[in-house]
Each structure stands twice: as structure tokens, then as C-alpha cells.
């Protein structure tokens, strides 16, 4: 009986960091979907649509990841060698989660417009994209498109954030 080299027991698929991240995102999407029950039907349409589509993609991603882990577990002789490998330009799962949480927290503090513009300008650079002109054009046009659609098509208020609201009140007092 040859016990050398000892291979560690395979980690269950539900403990994979990508699966954990997707599960957390699924919980948020489900919570937003449940929260829309108190909205009137018109106000609930867009959040429900986003939540349902998010849940479908989360389930699909978790399924694909578990299938990939199962295939890798059968064929990979050294799971530690491949554990740290990511695709080129990929962020670790915890950085992905941190950028998303930071985005939502900063929307509350600084407002949707500024935070979305900064997020769309910084995230491609974090992912290794180096065509700065395209990043700038895409970030600005996407932000303008979001603001236009939400404000003029959907007639939704854009979150100003605490700082934006403070400045509006300050300028109103002058």
C-alpha cells in the first residue's frame, strides 16, 4: 500500500471561492426580489427583471463551475498547482466581491453618477485592459446612457448620495 505522496482530500464544491461568491450574489438577488413585493407593479418591474435574470445567471454559473471542478478533479494530478491560477486579467474572487460592495456603498455616499463613472473607468484597468481612450469613451458613454435611460425613459430618481444631497442643500441655501 503506497501512501506517498499523500494527496489532500478534495474540497467540496460548495467551498470553492467562486461558488461562495456566486451564492452570496444569489442571496442578494433573492433578497431584492423578495423586497419588490411591497412595491407597486410599475416600480417593481425593473428590480424584478434584474433580480430574476441575476438569479438565472447565478444558478448557471454555479452549475458550470461545479461541472468544471468535477472534470478538473478527475483529470488533475496536482490540485494545488492549479488552485492559484487565474485567467489573464482576472481578479481574485474576494477583489471582485470588494469592488461590488464598494460600488454599492459609494453610491449611497457619493451618488450614482460619480461612482458609476469612476467604477466604469477603474474596473477595466484593474482587469488589465490598457486601451485608455476606449475605457474613457466607454465609461463616459455608458454612464450618460444609464442616467438618460433611468431619468428620462424610466422616470426614476438617480441616487444623489449623502454628499450630493449635502451639496444640493448647501447650494440651495446660498
- Give phi and psi for 130, each to the nearest 5: -120, 15
Q: Is the pLDDT of residue 8 over 60?
A: no
The last residue of one of the domains, among 29, 63, 85, is: 85
Q: What is the pLDDT of residues 79-93, one digit of tens each?
A: 444 444 455 556 676
Domain of residue 42: give its range.
Answer: 11-85
Contact 30, 51 (CB under 8 A): yes
| 95/172 same-domain check | yes
- The predicted-structure confidence for 17-51, as pLDDT tens digits, reads as follows 778 878 888 898 898 889 888 888 888 888 888 88
101 and 162 together in one domain: yes
Are residues 64 and 45 located together in one domain of the fold?
yes
The pLDDT of residue 118 is 92
Residue 56, pLDDT score: 93
pLDDT in tens, 128-150: 788 889 989 999 999 999 999 98
- My answer on whether 81 and 93 are in the same domain is no
Chain centre distance of CA 54: 10
Number of domains in the chain: 2
Same domain, 158 and 104: yes
Q: What are phi and psi of 12, to 5 degrees?
A: -60, 150
- pLDDT at residue number 169: 84
Domain boundary among 55, 85, 115: 85
The DSSP secondary-structure symbol of 174 reads: -
* Per-residue cell: 61: 454559473
**Angle at the Cα of 62 (from 96 to 33), degrees rounded to 5?**
80
Q: Is residue 29 part of a domain?
A: yes
Report pLDDT for 84: 47
What is the C-alpha separation between 46 and 107, in angstroms, rounded? Answer: 18
125 Cβ partners below 8 Å, 6+ apart? 135
Residues 95, 79 share a domain: no
The region that residue 94 occupies, defined by phi over 0 for left and psi between -120 and 50 for alpha, beta otherwise, is: alpha
Report field, pTM of the whole predicted structure over 0.85 = no
Final residue in a domain of this structure, among 57, 85, 113: 85
In a domain, 154, yes or no: yes
Amino acid at each position: 500500500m503506497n501512501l506517498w505522496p499523500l494527496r489532500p482530500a478534495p474540497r467540496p464544491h460548495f467551498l470553492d471561492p467562486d461558488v461562495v461568491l456566486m451564492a452570496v450574489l444569489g442571496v442578494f438577488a433573492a433578497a431584492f426580489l423578495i423586497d419588490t413585493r411591497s412595491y407597486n407593479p410599475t416600480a417593481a418591474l425593473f428590480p424584478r427583471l434584474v433580480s430574476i435574470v441575476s438569479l438565472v445567471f447565478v444558478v448557471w454559473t454555479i452549475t458550470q463551475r461545479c461541472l468544471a471542478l468535477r472534470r478538473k478533479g478527475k483529470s488533475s494530478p496536482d490540485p494545488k498547482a492549479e488552485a492559484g491560477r487565474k485567467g489573464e486579467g482576472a481578479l481574485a474572487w474576494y477583489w471582485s466581491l470588494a469592488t461590488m460592495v464598494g460600488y454599492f456603498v459609494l453610491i449611497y455616499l457619493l451618488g450614482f453618477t460619480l461612482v458609476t463613472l469612476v467604477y466604469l473607468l477603474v474596473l477595466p484597468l484593474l482587469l488589465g485592459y490598457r486601451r485608455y481612450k476606449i475605457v474613457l469613451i466607454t465609461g463616459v458613454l455608458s454612464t450618460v446612457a444609464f442616467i438618460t435611460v433611468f431619468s428620462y425613459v424610466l422616470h426614476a430618481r438617480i441616487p444623489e448620495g449623502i454628499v450630493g444631497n449635502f451639496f444640493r442643500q448647501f447650494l440651495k441655501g446660498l
